[in-house]
Structure 1
């Protein structure tokens, strides 16, 4: 195989891999954890039934027919399983609580190339994820995420959600 062909093949593979991804640059995650809690000691959890997505997300056209709550719970369960945590229905070590929502009327100031500012409607989405000690009721982990709600195709929105929750639970 000639060098030109090899370089071209590598370039095409790189372009294919990077071009298929969904942008996550706008997703901002902040996490705090209890300094006193031994997080490795917590093995079982229960997701609080009242957790869920705000109606603002459920009304979005791109999410029509999608059970947003089920998707979020599935991702949280998968991420916690990767960390050795098991979901139970009775007597957990900790509870998981979350809320997610969107502000479809959020406004942002944007600067153009000439330094002029304009105000644009850029919907924002946010999520709060909290882990609570089942015995004491103390918060042992708190993570927040904010991002632009881009109205992307469903598959890309799900990828962004997976990325966000994974990042929110990193370090656990």
Structure 2
């Protein structure tokens, strides 16, 4: 991080990756530095984030906003962004939703899957950092596809016996018994 920039100034930052074969394509991003008189306190991220599975495809996420007193009626518009992804995801891509309440029910999730959730508060042009993460695993659901590769073999010398084998369904949605 560089700290030699002038306050209240606009900058265009260029970033390039390079390796032994040479330089890559540059990425440009603009930024404006804060003024020296900007002494506003940063937003505090939501705390006590909890995630509770409700159904095989939904989780309720709730939190507290410590920047508000217990019975404070807010006069400023503030909203909360909730982000989530599967805990085993390596892509780093989150889905998100916004709300003005202190809880949000996330729907459209996969059954029997662990998710991680985080919350951020925004008021005007100021936003907090993301909260600590909370985890929840959605409930199991009935398998959404049939078993595959079914094989039935009659047993030689045993006319009343057969051998049956199969592979589990693609979408088990839980533990197959």
Q: Same fold (TM over 0.5)?
A: no
TM-score (norm 1): 0.25
TM superposition score normalised by structure 2: 0.24
**Higher CA-based Rg:** 2
Query: Which of the pair is proportionally richer in strand?
Result: 2
Ranked by relative contact order (alpha carbons within 8 Å, sequence separation 6 or more), the top structure is 1
Structure 1 or 2: more helix by fraction: 1
